[in-house]
Structure 1
Amino acid sequence: MKTAYIFPGQGAQFVGMGKDLYDSNEGAKALFERANEILGFRITDIMFDGTEEDLKQTKVTQPAIFLHSVILAKALGESFKPSMVAGHSLGEFSALVSAGALSFEDGLKLVAKRANAMQKATEQEPGTMAAILGLADVVVEEICAEIQEVVVAANYNCPGQLVISGSVAGVDAACEKLLAAGAKRALKLNVGGAFHSPLMEAAKQELQAAILEVDIQIPICPIYQNYDACAYQEPVAIKENLIAQLTGAVRWTQTVQTMLADGAESFVEVGPGAVLQGLVKKVDRQIPTSSASLTA
């Protein structure tokens, strides 16, 4: 049975995330404490007992989701046997660590650098994102290309749901045209910046050096990367795709389709929430999905 393990990205966080792991598993507790040391602040205090506002800061959110996902995967031990892995945006880093391509420490340091670089980029180049519902991807792409301001297709989440990203003026202009073209809804998202767009170029440059320096091993199974939705195990290609990811689109719809074509028979989501399971079901209603659990 080919099982695909999938790892969520930003937006999946909730107060209390990971506390059951910390309390019930000694190995997990040790990893959380190691993370507190690496980060230089007690992220566990914010994850377990902080406010939603505290948890929403990019420098907290990204490491928090990464830690919840990776530590849960490690706590699964022998029962974690992926045939293939993928992660949505930030989740790609969780997938790489869980599949043995990156060490826990290197993965966490990269995620912290990524979060800080993205935060800085949003301050330098303010932008926003919007979810477009009920239009074909090609129509969204064509309308974005017509806009004079910066606006691109950023997250191909599932058929009929595509997130656009760019300058505030660009996203506003695109939303107006997309609604006129028949979109059911154009929902501005409560995000800090224009993620996965050209406005993240400064973050990409900052993170590139760190990614090139880090040691990436051949993962235990193929990882399907956001940049082009293809399977990789070769470390140099994995690094190139990770670098391109910050300004490139998250091709999640295509990733799920490729994994299904390559024989995935079930999908297990590792980390907070169940958003990705819902997106997988939008691609194939029949495919079994579940959340990873120590009690399963």
Structure 2
Amino acid sequence: MKAYIFPGQGAQFPGMGKDLYEQSEQAKELFEKANDILGFRITDVMFDGTEEDLKQTNVTQPAIFLHSVIMAKRMADFEPEMVAGHSLGEFSSLVATGALSFEDGLRLVAARANAMQKACEIQPGTMAAILALDDFTVEDICHQVSDVVVPANYNCPGQLVISGSIAGIDAACEKMLAAGAKRALKLNVGGAFHSPLMEAARVELQDAILQTQFKTPVCPVYQNIDAKPHTDVEEIKQNLIAQLTGPVRWTQTVEQMLRDGATSFTEVGPGKVLQGLVKKVDKNVPTAAAVL
């Protein structure tokens, strides 16, 4: 079974999507539609902006979404049998499988980015990557810290990102290193994503999601919050809402997709991060970047 996976924040790069825009009238129309919906020319930032310009949350999330979704629409052989997206990528996967329209997907991604930015200002926080510690040890240390600290991204075996208050992350990093972590690296992010500190964003996004029309996707969507396949519209909505304050269970998602018969993984969108993470779960499974 062919699995298609969609990247999240961090996959952006200057010039992203320019080739799509120039090579296809359909892609050009979708990019211009996105400029109208967003109320600014995101294409100018994507094609000609700097790395710093692309790091703004209100740019990064829609930019990666657009690159992934437009690429999926342009692919001649896009016939997914199962899909998953990493964090933001879950929205790309839902549009690619017909659960959301292009326009509604983009509006939700923009609403999500703005809600997350506001939550960061209300509740400052940060994240850190923990390398070479098992999941149980990381979870146990998070429980020991009195400030807010939770596992946020189960990226692959031996790589888990934690999220929480600045004091909580500092304390947890010290404990992780003492417990044998190879590295406990604070990330250059604007807030504590996928943690309880995103509660204000969850409430705001919940309203937007509940007011949006969803349809049954053409294949199962493996969602971050429980790493299980979903086709039921109401379940998909609730899982999307829970995702903002819950962890991205990427390791478990890939494991479940393999158990359910995935024979190859194709990454649709910018970068190759997810291909690398899949290989860390199973080095023998074929991975590839999407091609037009």
Q: What is the TM-score with the length of structure 2 in the denominator?
A: 1.00
SS, match of residue 128 in structure 2: strand
Q: 2:177 aligns with which of 179, 203, 206?
A: 179
Amino acid at match of 2:225: Y
Shift of 1:291: 0.4
Once the two structures are superposed, the pairs formed by residues 123-162 of structure 1 within 5 Å of their partners are: 123-162=121-160
Shift of 1:51: 1.2
Distance in structure 2 (CA, Å) of the matches to 1:69 and 1:203: 24
Cα deviation digits, residues 122-142 of structure 1 (max 9, x gap): 011000000000000000000
Indicate whether 1:60 and 2:62 are aligned: no
Q: Which residue of 2 aligns with 1:42?
A: 41
Partner Cα separation in structure 2 for residue 98 and residue 255 of structure 1: 18
Distance 1:172 1:293 in 2: 42
SS of the aligned residue for 1:86 comes to strand
1:182 is paired with a residue of what secondary structure? coil
Q: State the alpha-carbon separation in 1 of the partners of residues 83 and 212 from structure 2.
A: 20
Distance (whole Å) between structure 2 residues aligned to residue 147 and residue 275 of structure 1 = 30
**1:243 corresponding residue in structure 2:** 241
Question: Taking every aligned residue pair, what percent have the same amino acid on both sides?
Answer: 74
Q: Which residue of 1 aligns with 2:99?
A: 101
Q: CA–CA distance in 2 between the matches of 1:97 and 1:202? A: 25
Cα distance, 1:53 vs structure 2: 1.1
Q: Distance in 2 between matches of 1:50 and 1:16?
A: 7
SS of 2:160 mapped into structure 1:
strand
Q: How much does 1:293 deviate?
A: 1.0
CA distance in 1, matches of 2:98, 2:166: 39
SS of residue paired to 2:109: helix
CA distance in 2, matches of 1:54, 1:20: 19
- Asked if 1:193 is matched to 2:191, the reply is yes
Give the whole-Å Cα distance in 2 for the aligned partners of 1:54 and 1:279: 27
1:257-280 residue CA offsets vs partner (Å, 9 max, x unmatched):
000000000000000000000000
Q: Is 1:70 aligned to 2:69, yes or no? A: yes
Q: Could you give the per-residue CA deviations for residues 69-110 of structure 1, whole angstroms, max 9, x where no partner exists?
A: 000000114x10111000000000000000000000000000
What is the match of residue 220 of structure 1?
218
TM-fit CA distance, 1:52: 1.1
1:21 to partner: Cα distance: 0.4
How far residue 225 of structure 1 moved from its aligned partner, in angstroms, is 0.0
- Please list every run of at least 4 consecutive aligned residues from structure 1 whose deviation after the TM superposition is greater than 4 angstroms: none
Kindly provide the CA deviation profile for residues 208-260 of structure 1, in whole angstroms up to 9, marking residues without a partner as x: 01101111100000000000000000000000000000000000000000000
Give, in whole Å, the separation in 2 of the partners of 1:279 and 1:69.
Answer: 18
> Residue type of the partner of 1:137?
D
SS in 1 for 2:214: coil
Deviations 1:31-74 (A, max 9, x none): 00000000000000000001111110000000000000000000
Aligned positions of 1:9-48 closer than 5 A: 9-48=8-47
In the alignment, the residues of structure 1 paired with residue 64 and residue 273 of structure 2 have an alpha-carbon distance, to the nearest angstrom, of 13
Match of 1:262 in 2: 260
Q: 1:114 aligns with which of 108, 112, 115?
A: 112
Report the 3-state secondary structure (helix = DSSP H, G, I; strand = E; otherwise coil) of the residue aligned with 2:151.
strand
Secondary structure of the residue that 1:118 maps to in structure 2? helix
Task: Name the SS of the counterpart of 2:155 in structure 1.
Answer: strand
Shift of 1:153: 0.3
Q: Distance in 2 between matches of 1:112 and 1:265?
A: 33
